[in-house]
Structure 1
Amino acid sequence: MDAELFKKVVPHHCLGSIWSQRHQKGKEHVAPTVRAVISQFNRVANCVMATCLGDPSMKAADKARVVEHWIEVARECRTLRNFSSAHAILSTLERHMIGCQRKTWGEVSRDSFRLFQTLSGIVSTEINASQRSELITQVKSRRGARAPEGGL
């Protein structure tokens, strides 16, 4: 779903001069392709939030299994180069409402927690641009001659 939305993004919709108009009256139609990508990101984040926090009767160990599941989903997203959904999942798990639940995180396995930390370092918004560019270059070079006609 993310790939299809990203394929439809109109590059000039990402420009600040256009994007900054989105809240003006009568400009609700501005940058619909970017809005669609943002909506998908928010749907993924809301799904993670709902499954981690939706049932107040869940014990910490049960919540930890849900968190571990989402960490594995984020790993698979990264493997598939779906950085948008991986970032949505990881940033939601880092949020105060989930991140501050010490009992839950205390029940998460060490391996899952290490994987979470590693993935967070890769797809976090704090990662610097050169690391991101290097990762994208590595992905492209692995694809080599298999790249489809017309680019990515």
Structure 2
Amino acid sequence: MDVELFKKVVPHHCLGSIWSQRHQKGKEHVAPTVHAVISQVNRVADCVMATCLGDPSMKAADKARVVEHWIEVARECRTLRNFSSARAILSALNRHAIGHQKKTWGEVSRDSFHLFQTLSEIFFTESNSSQRSELISQVKSRRGARAEEGGL
């Protein structure tokens, strides 16, 4: 779903001069393709939040299994180079409502927690902007190689 939305993004709609108009009266519908991408990211984050917090009768151990599942989904998104969904998942898990549930996080396996920390560091730490750039350039170079092979 994400790739289809990203393909439709009009690049100049991402420019500050266009995007900053979105709150002006009569300009609410400016950059609809960018809004669509943002809505998708928000839906992913909302889904993570709902599954982690939606059932108040869930015990900490059960919530931990759900959190571990989303950590694994974020890892798979990174592997598939779906960085927007990976970041949305990690962002939701870092939100106060989930991130400060000590009992839940205490039940998360050490391996899952370590993976969560590693992924969060990649996607949210300013010092890792070079690592994020490297991930993106790897995607670009693979696309170029496939295009040369006739794969695109």
Pairwise same-fold verdict (TM > 0.5) = yes
Per-residue CA deviation, residues 77-113 of structure 1 (Å, 9 max, x unaligned), is 0011000000000010011110000000000000000
The range that moved more, 131-140 or 67-76, is: 131-140
The range that moved more, 131-140 or 111-120, is: 131-140
**Partner Cα distance (2:138, 2:26) in 1:** 43
The range that moved more, 116-125 or 46-55, is: 116-125
Counterpart in 2 of 1:50? 50
Equivalent positions of 1:23-38 (< 5 A) are 23-38=23-38
Structure 1 residue 124: Cα displacement? 2.1
Do the aligned partners of residues 88 and 127 (structure 1) sit closer, same or farther apart at CA in structure 2, a change above 3 Å counting? Answer: farther
**Partner Cα distance (1:127, 1:60) in 2:** 33
Equivalent positions of 1:37-116 (< 5 A) are 37-116=37-116
Structure 1 residue 48: Cα displacement? 0.3
CA RMSD of aligned residues (A): 2.2
Name whichever structure is richer in helix by fraction: 2
Do the aligned partners of residues 40 and 11 (structure 1) sit closer, same or farther apart at CA in structure 2, a change above 3 Å counting? Answer: same
Equivalenced residue count is 152
Segments of 4+ in structure 1 off by > 6 A? Answer: none
Structure 1 residue 146: Cα displacement? 1.5
Q: How many percent identity over aligned positions? A: 88
Report the TM-score, using the length of structure 2 for normalisation: 0.91
Instruction: Give the unaligned 5+ runs of structure 1.
Output: none
